[in-house]
Amino acid sequence: MRTLHFSIIVLLVVVTARCASTGEMASDEPTSPVAGMWDYSIEAPQGLFTGHLEMIPQEDGLAVHILQEGQQADDALMADSVAFDEETQMLTFSFENPEYGMMNVTLTLDDQGVLNGVLHAVQYTVDAPMVVTRSEQQ
């Protein structure tokens, strides 16, 4: 019986050590509820703009990559000043669009897991509704 207990303990230690070394155990760091791949649509005066957002957890917050529909991954835009407020579930960031200038984005995560808000084109002082949903291609 004593040998059986010892074998079980050794097995648990080996499995735990292996999982920890391969990263399979849950991390102590909280994951942002907005991390992952998302699809966006923006209803601008010029028409409907669609694309993808990739939100990547970083040590100091989130990184957001913006990819317009039809754009190659190497051409993705990088967001600046990214912030997600856990209490209000509000995501804010800005980015420089080569065609339209500085853009400020404010989105709120709703109970259905959809980000709703507005994209503000600073140069044109235009606000456009923006809806962001989880991408099916995670």
pLDDT digits (tens, 9 = 90+) for 62-81: 999 999 998 988 899 999 99
DSSP 3-state of 117: strand
pLDDT digits (tens, 9 = 90+) for 8-37: 433 333 333 443 444 444 455 557 899 999
Range of the domain at 40: 36-134
Does residue 4 belong to any structural domain of this protein? no
pLDDT digits (tens, 9 = 90+) for 84-131: 999 999 999 999 999 899 999 999 999 999 999 999 999 999 999 999
Does residue 86 belong to any structural domain of this protein? yes
Does residue 8 belong to any structural domain of this protein? no
What total number of domains does the chain contain? 1
Does residue 59 belong to any structural domain of this protein? yes
Cα(119)–Cα(105) distance, integer angstroms: 5
Q: What is the CATH number of the domain that holds 104?
A: 2.40.128.120
